[in-house]
Amino acid sequence: MGRIQLSQVSKVFGDVEVIPPLDLDIEDGEFMVFVGPSGCGKSTLLRLIAGLEDVTTGSIVIDGSDATTVPPAKRGLAMVFQSYALYPHMSVRKNIAFPMKMARMPQDEQVRRLEAAAQVLNLTEYLDRRPGQLSGGQRQRVAIGRAIVREPAAFLFDEPLSNLDAALRVGMRLEISELHKRLQTTMVYVTHDQVEAMTMADKIVVLHAGVIEQVGSPLELYRSPQNTFVAGFIGSPKMNFIEGPEAASHDAHTVGIRPEHIDVSSGSGTWTGTVGVSEHLGSDTFFHVTVDELSQLLTVRAGGEVDLHYGDTIHLTPNLDHLHRFDERGLRIS
């Protein structure tokens, strides 16, 4: 079991309220991702759950038991950090087995758990190597293995892929997602990368200045963002926002339209624009288009083979079925 319930949890450092009181339920077996810009409180919230920071107010309940004042080692949770924190003089086998040795676990149980973790993480052939002989992705797998052998109620990941290059990040992202499917254990994952959040999570918690802006599945946040912050944070490239007469014509203070929901034509359309910088990604091309009647720059997503060049005049038509409307407070208008 790995259900975690936060009730009116807050954190104050000195005179600064980093996390105002919040409520959050993380269901057993769920993969929940905390996402938001730097300084939004996501790592602090994870550390509160882990017990590495004391809550200022509120309670944390793990599997029905109040864990608010329980020491980290007794919460039944395992944390994987951004830094691997491996012992360089120890083999992979000894690194993974270290927490079991500290817990004075019977030797036969240590062997069983170590072999099972190594098999799940494809580390069996590397057990006798030292960390310095491994790639960054392999070292991160060792750190995860050290967490797995504890058989925790939940895994807590604090930006575990930040030190990896782009290709390794994609690979490890898939491996951690696959690991969750196999273990069916609760996982709470912190990242500033909304692509990681969208591709890995069962549910996403979007944080801004310590406040939970929205909780939902990746598609719920993509399709129905509750405010302009979530709308602008979730999705890549980010949503285009338009104010003024165009927004007023849709009975809104602000309207949003994603780059992939704007049709491009060389003949006619709702708006006329001039192509600026283009980003060619192969399968897709992102055009940054200056639209005179809106007096702003819009980002448009088109196919990779679209033949447009800097300075070309094009016509844009937003798909009104995918138009998002927001009021003067930035809140969604249903």
Coil, helix or strand for 218?
helix
Concatenate the DSSP letters of all residues of 137-164 into one string.
HHHHHHHHHHHHTT--SEEEEESTTTTS
Rounded to whole angstroms, how far apart are CA atoms 169 and 66? 36
The alpha-carbon radius of gyration of the chain (Å, integer) is 24
pLDDT bucket at 306, cuts 50 / 70 / 90: confident
Cβ neighbors of 161 (< 8 A, separation 6 or more) are: 140, 168, 169, 172, 173, 191, 196
Summarised one tens digit per residue, pLDDT across range 154-172 is: 999 999 888 778 888 888 8
Class of domain 241-247+257-326: mainly beta
* Residue 55, C-beta contacts closer than 8 angstroms, at least 6 positions apart: 9, 10, 11, 48, 68
Architecture of domain 4-231: 3-Layer(aba) Sandwich (3.40)
Cβ neighbours for 106, distance < 8 A, ≥ 6 positions apart: none
Is-above-0.85 flag for pTM?
A: yes
* For residue 72, cis peptide bond before it (omega within 30 degrees of 0): no
Q: Percent of the chain having pLDDT more than 70?
A: 100
Domain boundaries of the chain, sorted by first residue: 4-231, 241-247+257-326
User: What is the reported pLDDT for 324?
Assistant: 98
> Is-same-fold flag (4-231; 241-247+257-326)?
no
pLDDT at 260 over 90: yes
- CA angle 128–129–135, rounded 5-degree value: 145
The answer, yes or no, to whether residue 130 has pLDDT greater than 80, is yes
CA distances from 188 to 78, 82, 216, 266, 267 (A): 10, 14, 14, 47, 49
Q: How confident is the model at residue 1 (pLDDT cuts 50, 70, 90)?
A: low
